[in-house]
A and B are shown apart, each in its own frame.
Chain A
Amino acid sequence: MRTRLKANLVWAGLMIFGFILIDGLEFAGIINTFIENMLVTIGINVILAIGLNLIIGFSGQFSLGHAGFMAIGAYATGIITPTITTIGGFYLSMFIGVIIAIIAALIVGIPTLRLRGDYLAIATMGAAEIIRLLINNLKITNGAAGIFNIPALASWATVYVIMCITTIMTVNFIHSRSGRAIMAIREDEIAAEAMGLNTTRWKLAAFVFGAATAAVGGSLHAAYIQTIAPSDFNIMASIAILIIVVLGGVGSITGTFVAAIVLGALDTILQNFGTLRMIIYSLALILIMIFKPAGLLGTWELSFKRFNRQEVADHE
């Protein structure tokens, strides 16, 4: 427990340092709007991908419907903040988005989590498409045109802080009793069941947690980009998040960060290439997968506990 607390403190310190660093660079004029945009996109992608990595990497359930829950968060913010244009309104909308996403995840998860592997993937994909098509046809969401002029209530700092909070919460979830339970289910469902774990409940817990983080990411997306449309949350959006998770290494939170940063930077650099951009992107994707099949980092994690243990060993 004490090492856990210590590790958390070290991480918190590192995060504060990162904040000051970005703030300083911004002040010095090194980070312009262009780079800030890239950083915010990376931050939102990290939030989304961490939630999906929890579902795919740690609980071993293959979900292809992450964009559906993201859409719920985004639309909650898009609908509520134009009427309550305060920071409080933004957090209220994020909270409501998370609650609706949790309810939706329960409705989707309770029946479908009995399915395995690719069947689950295709069922969650279908569920996300149903959410998107509902949004596409409802009046309150302004149909296919989407919502414009959402008040800009999220700055890069908001995204950064919420990204840190989400990461800390997810990592602590993984290291808790619940986390060990879901990893046991990933390793062997029957054995986990024999040990007395209620497998459906724990799978559902991971799924709901992931959906909640997706809603948070969607809410930030809406408040920062200020324009949302149903087509932003199609299957391709779910796949884009999945690519970050797999590229970084399924089951590695550090890998998710690395992949989000690499892809975000790649995307920004490739902006100059115009139409060739997507061709280079897809070739890079294929080549990385062929030469690094386990993702950039595999299941490796950056951990300060390891350094701690080293110290203890040295003292002895």
Chain B
Amino acid sequence: MQTIGQQLINGLSLGSIYALLALGYTMVYGIIKLINFAHGDIYMLGAFWGYYVINVLHFSFIAAMLSAMLFCALVGVIIEYCAYRPLRHSPRITALITAIGVSFLLENGMSYLFTANTRSFPQVIKTVTYHLGSLQISNVQLLILGTACGLMLLLELIIKKTTMGKAMRAVAVDPTAAQLVGINLNHTISFTFALGSAMAGAAGVLIGLYYNSIDPLMGMTPGIKAFVAAVIGGIGSVPGASLGGFIIGILETAVQAIGLSAYKDAVVYLVLIVILLVMPAGIFGKNVKEKV
């Protein structure tokens, strides 16, 4: 019972990172039907930004995270403008390959500029471990969970309550019709990329603090797993992405806890395939009937 509770706490902290990343995937996919392979690398950029502003400019943790979010939002918008916008009317597979190209460019560009070495993230917040009965929870874990949940709520509010959010939902349903009622497609898509990338930036700084090590290739695997999380939750759905992230995080820690850590990724993919077979559009996804 005690280990289950402990693993649940660990799983939730890891899961909230996946959830933050999955939100970016799900929003971008929902609006332009693109698997943004470069999303994991934006998360890596966020972690590196945090590393530099804390080490060089001596930012506090909050300032580092907020500036990383701003920086990543900017990068996301630039990537969309330069690489994806010219391809909006091309076959989707072309845009996918471009996204892979952008991902390679960010990974190798960062390796070239800052070497591929792993570096340790500055520990701006001293780790304190609290004991709740027999359970242990560190302040970093609480911070991750709290920030992630706060950001998810904020995102949900932006999407549900603001005009821009309404525009995003409209474009996701039907881009042409959205344009007809006066929505600026380019602005809406840029805004979506900015929001998603900001979430990834926050996740990058948080993971730096949690795992204490960053390197230019750190975005690859979490990126793919976060995408899996988005698919499990039902791609295009914001609550689905959060739920999917938590499912993946808990699943991974659970498999590790029962001593099958070599197979933890395999179990994640197996669950993905099973969920897709039972619910082809994910847990919260809408199943679109094809009309003749």
Residues of A bordering B, CB below 8 Å:
56, 62, 111-112, 114-116, 118-119, 121-123, 125-127, 129-130, 133-134, 136-137, 189-191, 235, 239, 242-243, 246-247, 250, 275-276, 278-279, 281-283, 285-286, 289-290, 293-295
A115: which B residues are within 8 A, CB to CB?
A: 276-277, 280
A122, B272: Cβ atoms under 8 Å? yes
Known: A250-B93, A278-B104. A235 touches B231 (CB 8 A): no
B35, A126: Cβ atoms under 8 Å? no
Given the complex of chains A and B, what is the CA–CA distance between A195 and B43 in angstroms? 48
- 18 contacts across the A-B interface (CB closer than 8 A): A118-B235, A119-B281, A123-B272, A125-B224, A126-B228, A126-B269, A130-B269, A130-B270, A136-B262, A137-B263, A278-B107, A281-B104, A282-B105, A285-B104, A289-B95, A290-B87, A293-B94, A294-B91
Given the complex of chains A and B, what is the CA–CA distance between A133 and B267 in angstroms? 10
B108 CB contact (under 8 Å) in A114, A246, A278: A278
B266, A118: Cβ atoms under 8 Å? no
A111, B98: Cβ atoms under 8 Å? no
- Say how far A282's CB is from chain B's closest CB, in angstroms: 4
A122, B231: Cβ atoms under 8 Å? yes
A130: which B residues are within 8 A, CB to CB?
A: 266, 269-270
Given the complex of chains A and B, what is the CA–CA distance between A275 and B292 in angstroms? 51
B90: which A residues are within 8 A, CB to CB?
A: 289, 293-294
Known: A112-B277, A126-B273. A286 touches B262 (CB 8 A): no
- Say how far B63's CB is from chain A's closest CB, in angstroms: 31
A122: which B residues are within 8 A, CB to CB?
A: 227-228, 231, 272, 276
**Minimum CB distance partner of A111 in chain B:** B277
B91, A293: Cβ atoms under 8 Å? yes
Kindly state whether residue B83 has any CB partner on chain A within 8 Å. yes
A111: which B residues are within 8 A, CB to CB?
A: 273, 277
| Residues in B245-276 with C-beta less than 8 Å from chain A | 262-263, 265-266, 269-270, 272-273, 276
Known: A115-B280, A282-B105, A285-B97. A123 touches B273 (CB 8 A): yes
Given the complex of chains A and B, what is the CA–CA distance between A119 and B282 in angstroms? 9
B276: which A residues are within 8 A, CB to CB?
A: 112, 115, 119, 122-123
A112, B273: Cβ atoms under 8 Å? yes
Given the complex of chains A and B, what is the CA–CA distance between A247 and B93 in angstroms? 10
A289, B98: Cβ atoms under 8 Å? yes
B107: which A residues are within 8 A, CB to CB?
A: 278
- Say how far B3's CB is from chain A's closest CB, in angstroms: 24
B269, A290: Cβ atoms under 8 Å? no
- Say how far A308's CB is from chain B's closest CB, in angstroms: 31
| Residues in B76-117 with C-beta less than 8 Å from chain A | 83, 86-87, 90-91, 93-98, 100-102, 104-105, 107-109, 111-112
A56, B111: Cβ atoms under 8 Å? no
- Say how far B17's CB is from chain A's closest CB, in angstroms: 20
Extra contacts besides A121-B35, A283-B105, A286-B101 (9): CB < 8 Å:
A118-B29, A125-B224, A126-B270, A130-B266, A137-B262, A282-B101, A282-B102, A285-B101, A295-B94
Given the complex of chains A and B, what is the CA–CA distance between A246 and B46 in angstroms? 31
Interface magnitude class on chain B: 35 or more
B94 CB contact (under 8 Å) in A126, A190, A294: A294
A118: which B residues are within 8 A, CB to CB?
A: 29, 33, 35, 235
- Say how far A68's CB is from chain B's closest CB, in angstroms: 11
Given the complex of chains A and B, what is the CA–CA distance between A102 and B35 in angstroms? 29
B33: which A residues are within 8 A, CB to CB?
A: 118
B263, A133: Cβ atoms under 8 Å? yes
Residues of B bordering A, CB below 8 Å:
29, 33, 35, 83, 86-87, 90-91, 93-98, 100-102, 104-105, 107-109, 111-112, 224, 227-228, 231, 235, 262-263, 265-266, 269-270, 272-273, 276-277, 280-281, 290, 292
A189: which B residues are within 8 A, CB to CB?
A: 290
B94, A289: Cβ atoms under 8 Å? yes
Known: A126-B272, A136-B262, A290-B98. A190 touches B104 (CB 8 A): no
User: 4 tightest CB-CB pairs across the interface, nearest first?
Assistant: A126-B269, A293-B90, A282-B104, A285-B101
B112: which A residues are within 8 A, CB to CB?
A: 275-276, 279
A286, B102: Cβ atoms under 8 Å? yes
- Say how far A156's CB is from chain B's closest CB, in angstroms: 29
Given the complex of chains A and B, what is the CA–CA distance between A72 and B105 in angstroms? 30
Given the complex of chains A and B, what is the CA–CA distance between A125 and B95 in angstroms? 18
A275 CB contact (under 8 Å) in B94, B95, B111: B111
B105 CB contact (under 8 Å) in A125, A235, A279: A279
Given the complex of chains A and B, what is the CA–CA distance between A112 and B274 in angstroms? 9
Given the complex of chains A and B, what is the CA–CA distance between A191 and B270 in angstroms? 33
- Say how far A188's CB is from chain B's closest CB, in angstroms: 9
Interface centre among A116, A122, A136, A250 (most CB of B within 10 A): A122
A191: which B residues are within 8 A, CB to CB?
A: 292
- Say how far B123's CB is from chain A's closest CB, in angstroms: 30
B280, A114: Cβ atoms under 8 Å? yes
Known: A285-B97, A286-B98, A286-B105. A119 touches B280 (CB 8 A): yes
Given the complex of chains A and B, what is the CA–CA distance between A169 and B282 in angstroms? 38
